[in-house]
Amino acid sequence: MIEIGRIVKPQGIKGEVKVLSDCEKNRLANLSRVFISEKEFKVDSISIRDAVYLKLNGVDDRNEAELLRGEAVFALKEELVPLKDNEFYFEDLIGSKVLDENNIEIGEIEDIEQYGAADVIVIRERNMLFSVPFLDSIFIKIGNGNVNVLKEEYDNLKING
């Protein structure tokens, strides 16, 4: 399962909820069910605009929708629109080996922090954690459980902690 977003508010009076998506909204077009607080909900309808709007089966009024405010929404990966070549989910990168441009191991991806301005990759290098902005100028190749970086750029931008 993958977290696809968080319910930010009820929408209207018939139980629809607004979801602020953590992934590309078009990936969610085929959802038939979601999971909230470990409970499965059938998706009666989905509308993708500025955000993702879901009408969940069994959530039939604004009061019921309000109870879901702030909850994380999960979906099965197989229900998401398939990824194209060279696309990936951030969660799939956790545990990947980090190699330099010469395939010499530097460390391992420990976590990914998502901020509004930029995503930050947390890398464990010799039992120390470093944060590096996720930029194309640093991360040059991703695949097969490995992530290659330009070592000089990586060293210049990594922050301890």
The tens place of each residue's pLDDT in the chain, 161 residues long, gives 889 999 999 999 999 999 998 788 888 998 999 999 999 999 999 999 989 999 999 999 999 999 999 999 999 989 998 887 767 778 888 999 999 999 999 999 999 887 767 789 999 999 999 999 999 899 999 888 899 999 999 999 888 86
**What confidence tens digit (pLDDT) does each residue in 119-151 have?**
899 999 999 999 999 998 999 998 888 999 999
* Mean confidence (pLDDT) of the chain: 91
Residues of 106-144 as b/e, b for ≥16 C-beta within 10 angstroms?
bbebbeeeeeeeeebbbbebeeeebbbbbeeebbeeeee
Measured distance between the N- and C-terminal CA atoms of the chain, rounded to whole angstroms: 29
pLDDT at 116: 66
pLDDT at 45: 96
Q: Domains of the chain (ranges plus CATH)?
A: 2-79 (2.40.30.60), 90-160 (2.30.30.240)
Q: Are 83 and 51 in contact (CB under 8 A)?
A: no
Distance CA 49, CA 99 (A): 39
This prediction's pTM: 0.68
Q: Which H or E run includes 153? A: helix 151-157
